[in-house]
Chain A
Amino acid sequence: MTDAAATPGRSRGVRQVVGDYFKATEIDLRLFGMVVALAVIILGFGFVTDGRFLDPVNMLTLAVQGASVAILATGMVLVIVSRNIDLSVGSVVGVVGMVYAVLMHEIYPTTIGADTSYGWLLALAVGIALGAFIGAFQGYIIAYIGVPSFIVTLGGLLAFRGVVFYISGGSTQAPDDKQFVVLGGGPQGSIGGTASWIVGLVMVAAAIGLLYYNRRERRRFGFPLRPIWADALIGTVSSLVVLGAVYVANSYHWPAGLATQYAQAHGITEPPGGLQIESGIPWPVLIVIGVTVAMWFLATRRRFGRYVFAIGGNPDAAELGGINTRWTILKVYILMGILAAISAAIASARLNGATLDLGQGYELYVIAAAVIGGTSFAGGIGTIPGAVLGALVMYSLKYGLAYEGLNSPGQDIVAGAVLIIAVGADTINRRRGS
């Protein structure tokens, strides 16, 4: 409070009261800022397009487009927190995506048969195993041999893109398995209205349960409690956001042509005005939610996550504390490889096949998302939800600018500028804070 003298009494009083209330909620200021930024971007584009941008179809498309990068960003947080980097994610997505496509397009028809009920799961299992293997390979060189991660993964970026060419035979491989394509979203790749409400209610219940659990734990140990109004406020707001998102997803209905096809295939007579099928939450978005929760759990509730942060904060302290730092770093890269495989499934399913440049340039967007989301390159600082929000911020900007007719190079210029501005603002903030 060194600026006490500089600020006039009255406005400071008001600011302080608001600040105290805000502090009582124990909300992460940076995350809160990101949510506000996201809201401003989306509402801003809504405003300049007279609300057309806010149409549910745009919201769903935007979320699905950001899904692949958001998933990778959750892993990149841990990589950067542990004072490393992974430049190879885009190329690994390319390799695994191409393996999915070759498997389903070329190998399945002559072995287990095309479009079997389990083919997509088998492909996914192969992809995840491959991703984990690639991660372990790079992680081993980084953690145990000691080659800097920047170099190892830069090599990976180049080499794995070359691998894509060889396993593809030099051309796009398409189409994917019909069930697999569901992972890519779109009307048929969404879970439908009823299921969406169920998912929404489960999430609300989980949020309230978590708030209750934390409160009970703190009371049990006799620690200071968060005021009840703050818990109530957080519970209410997060429930409203979740249910609001479900409502938006459900207010998008299948396009008429697709609905008619569906009606005919299932012997339903279409009511006047056409069959209305609620799209609901797209699978990629559901996967992002699942991955975010799982990664958040790993990062904050498990020893593994604690060790990653400790290594980032002070590698010597971690080592002296008896932590197996090399094994921890190796595990981070295995995790990154698995996430690349999941991300590749979504990216490939969305294209219904794999192109030679699948995933190209992802590494930059992923790193940018993590950094916009508050991950510090000095190591030790970063959050999983922040990175996902970072990806959303970037993709809502990109999508909004594209919607306004700005071409792809123009979008890149804006994305680059936003990256620098976001980190710059953060740096200034931190300097003031310390």
Chain B
Amino acid sequence: MAVQAAPTGTKTPLVAMNHINVAFGGVHAVQDVSIDLFPGEVVGLVGGNGAGKSTLMRVLSGAHRADSGEILINGEPVVIANPRDAKVYNIETIYQTLALADNIDAPANMFLGRELTTRWGTLDDSGMEKATRTVMGRLNPNFKGFKKPVKSLSGGQRQAVAIARAVHFNARILIMDEPTAALGPAETAQVRNLIRQLKNEGIGIFLVSHDIHDVYDLAERVSVMYHGRIVDTVNKADVDMDDILGMIILGKKSGEVSKNELEKLL
């Protein structure tokens, strides 16, 4: 399948996933999918339920291994066998389910698995709290409750914690799986601003979302998945929202969708 070049010309992509296959038993969740991502770019990954978006992203974040296919980071082939490997390549993931431990506080969540320690090998809680306050000062200056279990925070604040984790650890590649699904309108706007900010800092972002408005607003390119395959990857400039919708629902490239079919949908 031809992958369309990024609008900024041909550099080495930050990430290239080539011919990825994942099967669960007899179900081909991801079939021969190729996708890439350039620095400072947002690539929207859209598709219906069970289209394979999340599974594809789980492969990149090390939560699930692909059955076949290769992953290139800055043009170098790499093996990502677990979440720790992904972190070595500065791939950070913000999961649909937030992936926070509800019972511990924001600094503990931000540093989960990568705690700072003092020279006696004890947890450096003050150091972690300071770093969290610094990052939050940038992302969400209104954030309070650094000592409270994150369970008691609002959805937006919890999402801020998840994003802060990615920012603090210098993510180069950020995977956001439905980052606004659990949020109210004001909080969604906050997260959108954040995504733009991160993009301007040169981070490459895969944005997985049901919300076509989100994707259309933020992404430079959009890859549409349908039943485990990529239907097409298009530059946002070349299509409108209805074209994307048609691709998601019918699983056909925008040129192949007839006016009649499209009208029936809308």
Partners in one complex: yes
Residues of A within 8 A of B (CB): 217-218, 220-221, 223, 297, 300-303, 306, 309-314, 316-323, 380-381
Contact between chains at A380 and B122 (CB < 8 Å): no
Are A322 and B99 in contact, with the CB atoms below 8 A? no
Query: Interface size class for chain B?
Result: 20 to 34
Q: Are A317 and B123 in contact (CB under 8 A)?
A: no
Closest to B118 in A: A301
**Interfacial chain B residues near A317, Cβ < 8 Å:** 98-101, 109, 112
**A321's contact among B102, B113, B129, by CB below 8 Å, is which?**
B113
Inter-chain contact B113/A323, CB cutoff 8 Å: yes
Q: Which residues in B have their C-beta under 8 angstroms from that of A309?
A: 101, 103-104
Q: Please indicate the chain B residues that have their CB under 8 angstroms from the CB of A217 in the complex.
A: 126
Cα–Cα distance between A223 and B132 once the two chains are bound (Å): 12
CA distance A305 to B208 in the complex (A): 34
Nearest to B100 among chain A residues (CB) is A317
B115 at the interface (CB under 8 A from A): yes
Chain B minimum-CB-distance residue to A323: B113
Q: Is the CB of A302 within 8 A of B121?
A: yes
Output the least CB separation between B19 and chain A (Å): 26
User: Contact between B83 and A319 (Cβ–Cβ < 8 Å)?
Assistant: yes
Q: Does B55 contact A (CB under 8 A)?
A: no
Query: A321 to B83, Cβ gap below 8 A?
Result: yes
Chain A CB within 10 Å — which of B100, B104, B109 has the most?
B104
**B68 interface residue per 8 A CB criterion:** no
Contacts of B122 in A (CB 8 A): 297, 301-302
B residues with CB within 8 A of A: 61, 63, 82-84, 87, 93, 95, 97-104, 108-109, 112-115, 117, 121-123, 126-127, 129-130
Contact present for B103 and A312 (CB under 8 Å):
yes
Sample of 14 further A-B pairs with CB below 8 A, known A319-B83, A320-B63:
A221-B127, A221-B130, A301-B122, A303-B117, A306-B115, A310-B101, A310-B112, A311-B101, A316-B97, A317-B101, A317-B109, A320-B95, A321-B112, A323-B112
Contact A223 B126 (CB under 8 A): yes
**How many angstroms between the C-alpha atoms of A316 and B114 in the bound complex?**
16
By the criterion CB–CB under 8 Å, are B104 and A322 in contact?
A: no
Contact B102–A314 (Cβ < 8 Å):
yes
Please, how many angstroms separate the alpha-carbon atoms of A402 and B93 in the complex?
58
**Interface pair B102/A322, CB less than 8 Å apart:** no
Q: CB distance B115 to A318 under 8 Å?
A: no
Inter-chain contact total with CB atoms closer than 8 Å: 79
Once the chains bind, are A380 and B103 in contact (CB under 8 Å)?
yes
Give the complex CA separation of A287 and B194 in angstroms.
53
Can you list 8 residue pairs at the A/B interface with Cβ under 8 Å? A217-B126, A303-B123, A306-B123, A309-B101, A317-B98, A318-B101, A320-B93, A380-B101
The residue of chain A having its C-beta at the shortest distance from the C-beta of B112 within the complex is A321
- Given A303-B115, A320-B99: A310 touches B87 (CB 8 Å cut-off): no
Q: Is the CB of A218 within 8 A of B126?
A: yes
* B103 engages A321 (CB within 8 Å): no
- Evaluate whether A313 and B129 lie within 8 angstroms (CB atoms) in the complex, with A302-B121, A322-B114, A323-B113 already known: no
- Shortest Cβ gap from B214 to chain A (Å): 23
A381 to B126, CA, bound (A): 22
Min Cβ gap B137→A in Å is 12
A313 to B104, CA, bound (A): 8
Inter-chain CA distance A129–B183, complex, in Å, is 52
Q: Which residue on chain A has the smallest CB distance to residue B102?
A: A313
Report the minimum CB–CB distance from A316 to chain B (whole Å): 6
Selected contact of B99 from candidates A311, A312, A321, CB within 8 Å: A321
Q: Are A322 and B108 in contact (CB under 8 A)?
A: no
Closest Cβ–Cβ distance, residue B153 to chain A (whole Å):
13
Contact A221 B129 (CB under 8 A): yes
In the complex, the answer to whether A322 meets B126 with C-beta atoms within 8 Å is no
Separation of A297 and B127 alpha carbons in the complex (Å):
18
Q: Are A314 and B101 CB-contacts (below 8 A) given A301-B123, A306-B115, A322-B84? A: yes
Residues of chain A with a CB closer than 8 A to B108's CB: 306, 310
- How far, in whole Å, are A221 and B122 apart by their CA atoms in the complex? 17
Report the Cα distance A311→B104, complex, angstroms.
11
Partner of B101, one of A223, A303, A313: A313
Q: Is the CB of A221 within 8 A of B103?
A: no
- Is there contact, CB below 8 Å, between A318 and B112? yes
Give every chain A residue within 8 A of B113 (Cβ-Cβ): 318, 321-323
CB distance from B175 to the nearest CB of A (A): 11
CA distance A323 to B99 in the complex (A): 13
The answer to whether A314 and B83 touch across the interface, beta carbons within 8 angstroms, is no
- Contact across chains for A306 and B104 when beta carbons are under 8 A apart: yes
CB pair A381 B115 closer than 8 Å: no
Complex formed: what's the CA distance from A210 to B101 in Å? 28
For the complex of A and B, list the 3 residue pairs with the smallest distance between their C-beta atoms, beginning with the closest.
A313-B101, A321-B113, A380-B103
Q: Do A310 and B104 touch (CB < 8 A)?
A: yes
Known contacts A220-B126, A302-B123, A322 near B103 by CB under 8 Å: no
Are A322 and B101 interface neighbours, CB within 8 A? Answer: no
CB distance from B224 to the nearest CB of A (A): 27
Cβ of A218: which chain B residues have Cβ within 8 Å of it? 126
- Chain B residues contacting A320 (CB-CB under 8 Å) are 61, 63, 83, 93, 95, 99
A377 to chain B, nearest CB (A): 13
